[in-house]
Chains A and B, each alone.
Chain A
Amino acid sequence: MIWETVIGLETHVELATRTKIFCGCSTSFGAPPNTHCCPVCTGMPGALPVLNRRAVLLAVRAGLALGCTVSRRCAFDRNNYFYPDLPKAYQISQLYLPLCRDGAVDIGGGKTIRIAELHLEEDAGKLVHDPWTEQSLADFNRCGVPLIEIVTRPDFSAAEEVIAYLEKLKLTLQYLGVSDCKIQEGSLRCDVNLSVRPAGSRELGTRTELKNLGSFKAIARAIDYEARRQIELLEEGRPVVQQTRRWDENKDATFPMRSKENAQDYRYFPDPDLPPLELEEAWLDSLAAAQPEMAWEKAARYQTQWGLSADDARTLTGRKPLADYFEAVVELGAPPRRAAGWVLGQLLAALGARGLEAEHIPLPPAALARLIHLVETGALNRNTAARVLEAVFDAGGDVDGYVAAHGLGQISDPAAVEEAARAALAANPKALADWRAGKGKAKGFLVGQVMARLQGRADPALVNRAVDALLEESK
């Protein structure tokens, strides 16, 4: 039998707010445990939530970019369950009246994924298990970090589509400034709902939910594994059990989670501490009008406005920090195509050699713009400029200081070049003889010798001219 896989996604994305969704604590990642906490986010008796307006704004931006209808009136509900990483024993979420509904994402290849809803909720804390002391410790720093949950319809049929959707989602949210979408830091997390059915069937099979997917690679592998597992079961005439399964990266397989975690009754009800959220039409309109330029829009503009190739435009816009950097360099006066060449060439190479991400480029855009300017005006030659970039890359980017300190400025004094050329010719009588004998290559050798005497800093055109003149003279 031919089987087809049906997949829906629930993606949780941490919003890039400075403070938590219901209190003023910092959301920054990596702080010492329990240092970003207060009575509100640790659920102390009597503490009350106050909605972070910025979180609403970012969620609305995301909803608009995903083609959703934004509800004029939404509300918050309590999702009740006991777990030590949830100090209130309920998560504030949106079940009955979510913020956004009915969106769509074009993932290319003529395929569109429908978004069922996008809602706001708060993150839980983290448990740290210490195998040596057999203790579990709770870190509440992440409690109350704002999340949006984006729920798709079951519109995917393969892992590749899921990855294409997630890449597009990530790029979209990064461009909106809604989230940094770092899957390793947990700011983008994805649960997969998957079932299989005979090809052509219209009924959905029994689904399983896959959790603990820590990378796009893990997501793709887990989907392939789980689809195969379900198909094997069905082909053996055994049923698929509806359950939540955990992806084990090391064993490359999914395993059922404890049955208790499968039998939750979340007892949702409207949170009486938060009045329904009413959004004004005018505010929504102003947000819709102010949506930032998306990656694909930027790429098109780079081609039409600045004449970049489609490939270069796509690579530059593939990571928002890189596009931002590139635009900053252009903004400072660098010719766009030259700037693109430097960013995609030396800059990416320097990043790669250091294992750095585009959001952590140590070299200020102004330094690269200055370097390009020096090359354009002939003050530095290109090879020297590449060396300077490498030298100042991690050191604050003082291009002029480094060039001056190391005497790297281009030598464009014709007298100095002529002197070096005379010395080179005098020192290489064999080359001169070869040239006279009609061996054209000998000139190249002599030019190289002159350049070497000038530590490679001479203006190549000047060197060529000086060598030509002396050869003429010696005829």
Chain B
Amino acid sequence: MEFYNLTALELAAALKKGEVSVAQAVQAARARMEARREDNAFLTPLSPAPESIDLDASPLAGVPMAYKDNICTRGVPTTCASRMLEGFVPPYDAAAAEHLTAAGAVCMGKLNMDEFAMGSTSETSCRGPVRNPWDPQRSAGGSSGGAAAAVAGGQVWYAIGSDTGGSIRQPAAHCGVTGMKPTYGAVSRYGLVAYASSLDQIGPIARSAADCAAVLDILRGRDRRDSTSVELPGGPLLDALTGRVKGLSIALPEQYLEDGLEGGVAAAVREAADTFRALGARVETVSLPALDWAVSAYYILACAQASSNLARFDGVTCGRRAPEGRDLAQLCAASRTQGFGREVKRRLLLGTFVLSHGYYDAYYKKALQAAALIKDGLNRTLEEYDLILSPVAPTAAPRLGESLSSPLEMYLSDLYTVPANLAGLPAVSFPCGLDGEGMPVGVQLMGRALEDAAVLNAAHAFQLATPWHKMHPEGGKRP
């Protein structure tokens, strides 16, 4: 039985019924990991031999999964795809990993990513780029590229990623899977190696919105170790998936469909809008002028926070220590020079600059103000509309090597995803078609803070009506 392309919920149901054993599921995942090794999705593959999984622990108990390598896992290397953290084995689990372990998740390993989650193509990894399962010459997107590729390639049934400016949603779109960035704080950040603390959020990548809801039900919850965490109101998200969007109002920001958007992507998004209309939702174009500043504000805030968050890697405590440091300054400089890659260095320098004496007001403070304006603008739109529909990325997955030469262009491609982070809103990305070259295209729905259920439900309704999330890179649709 080729059960590797079931959804996570389908596999969990088969496990509960005894049609498949956990060991068989693990074996199937291992076989797929072997078959798709060229994708370079895993940094640390594991061969778990779980003995006593309580299949009633959660709706997903016993299902093999994997973590992006910036989520701390006790006793398992957590490297953030950086030379800086080679050999780092955390003595603690991230809150997300604790929840999942308690829920009977079976961890198949740690996934490749952009170094310290800085990048949009998973090419800044010190262990080489992740290849897109749909086309090995293309990027899987980033920074959670390993997570999206592993799920799309049938290696695991779901994966846990992190999203600071689109790092779950964009690779999910590029790989034809579903990715959810929850409301800021809905999932504890404890144990997530911080990139930009006010924007980082852990979330699921899976093969359907329903799977994402099931995973988020496990991940969610106020954690007293994370002072920014919040409790999502309401019962299980899974129970909220009615599949009905009739009567919902959906805003479509018009500037998103204008210049810069590749033809195939624009067409797929328009088609998705039509699908929602056909399902009984009202879709209207709106104008959201503050969004023009989103990318600039995002990069200032993210780089500035990163420059502080990554300063702890100084060759003294955990992380790489350069052997030749003769004095303190040299030890620190040499360790960081050797440990960090180009893109990380670029962002840390940018971030250090914008926080420097005399520049705080001109950059960081202004970026905070811009973020507040964007948040206000989005919230006002969401007073009038239930959801905001948009593209995820201006193009389908880029070819490997294309983006690294032009960082600015790469940054600008985050245009559609960063507003949800700046405003702390839940947003889901899900497949809505293929472009002219047969590459998957995703669409995004953003909703009100704490209304993650509404966002997932709309995506679920879309998936009940369309076949796109069942497309498989190895040909045709999943059953």
Contacts and interface: CB of A to CB of B under 8 A. Distances in A.
Interface in B319-355: 328-329, 332, 352, 355
Contact of A273 (B94, B224, B228): B228
Contacts of B190: 46-48
A44 B224 contact: no
A78 B304 CA distance: 11
B193 A87 contact: no
Contacts of B224: 50
B312 A50 contact: no
A90 B357 CA distance: 16
6 contacts: A45-B80, A48-B225, A82-B311, A90-B311, A138-B316, A269-B305
Nearest to B333: A82
Contacts of B198: 272
Interface in B280-314: 304-305, 307-308, 311-312, 314
Contact of A46 (B194, B311, B332, B364): B194
A267 interface: yes
A82 B72 CA distance: 24
B347 to A, nearest CB: 15
Given A46-B94, A50-B224, A87 B316 contact: yes
A275 B185 CA distance: 11
A89 B189 contact: no
Given A46-B94, A48-B190, A268 B360 contact: yes
B385 to A, nearest CB: 28
A46 B317 contact: no
Interface string B182-203: 0000000111111011100000
Contacts of B364: 269
Given A48-B190, A90-B311, A138-B316, A269 B227 contact: no
A358 B88 CA distance: 49
A297 to B, nearest CB: 38
Given A269-B308, A273-B228, A275-B228, A46 B90 contact: yes
A267 B352 contact: yes
Nearest to A43: B312
B91 interface: yes
B193 A46 contact: yes
A42 interface: yes
Please list the 10 inter-chain residue pairs (A to B) with the smallest Cβ-Cβ separation, ordered nearest first.
A89-B311, A272-B198, A267-B355, A272-B197, A46-B191, A45-B193, A84-B316, A46-B72, A43-B312, A265-B357
Contacts of B360: 267-269
Interface string A56-92: 0000000000000000000000101011100111100
Among B85, B197, B308, B318, chain A packs the most CB atoms within 10 A around the CB of: B308
Contacts of A90: 308, 311
A424 to B, nearest CB: 79
Nearest to A277: B227
B311 A50 contact: no
A273 B308 contact: no
Q: Report the interface size class on chain A.
A: 20 to 34
Given A78-B308, A273-B228, 15 more contacts: A39-B92, A44-B91, A45-B78, A45-B194, A48-B227, A80-B311, A82-B311, A82-B314, A84-B314, A84-B328, A138-B317, A265-B356, A269-B355, A272-B305, A274-B227
B226 interface: yes
A374 interface: no
Contacts of A46: 71-72, 90, 92, 94, 189-194
A193 B194 CA distance: 37
Interface string A273-311: 111000000000000000000000000000000000000
Contacts of B316: 84, 87, 138
A45 B90 contact: yes
Nearest to B198: A272
Contacts of B193: 45-46
Given A39-B91, A50-B224, A269-B304, A87 B312 contact: yes
Interface string A245-268: 000000000000000100001011
B432 to A, nearest CB: 33
Interface string A74-114: 00001010111001111000000000000000000000000
A50 B196 CA distance: 18
Interface string B54-93: 0000000000000000011000001010000100101110
Contacts of B355: 80, 267-269
A214 interface: no
A86 to B, nearest CB: 9
Contact of B227 (A43, A44, A51): A51
Contacts of A48: 189-190, 225-227
Given A82-B332, A267-B355, A45 B227 contact: no
A51 B227 CA distance: 8
A49 interface: yes
A416 B357 CA distance: 90
Nearest to B223: A48
A312 B228 CA distance: 53
Given A45-B78, A80-B355, A273-B197, A89 B312 contact: yes
B308 A45 contact: no
A135 B67 CA distance: 39
A40 to B, nearest CB: 8
Contact of A45 (B85, B332, B356): B85
B50 to A, nearest CB: 24
Contacts of B356: 265, 267
A313 B200 CA distance: 59
B225 A43 contact: no
A50 B227 contact: yes
B44 to A, nearest CB: 16
A138 B312 CA distance: 14
B227 A275 contact: yes
B89 to A, nearest CB: 11
Contacts of B314: 82, 84, 89
Contacts of A39: 90-92
Contacts of B368: 270
Contacts of A270: 368
Interface string B160-184: 0000000000000000000000000
A265 B354 CA distance: 12
A345 B213 CA distance: 75
Contacts of B304: 269
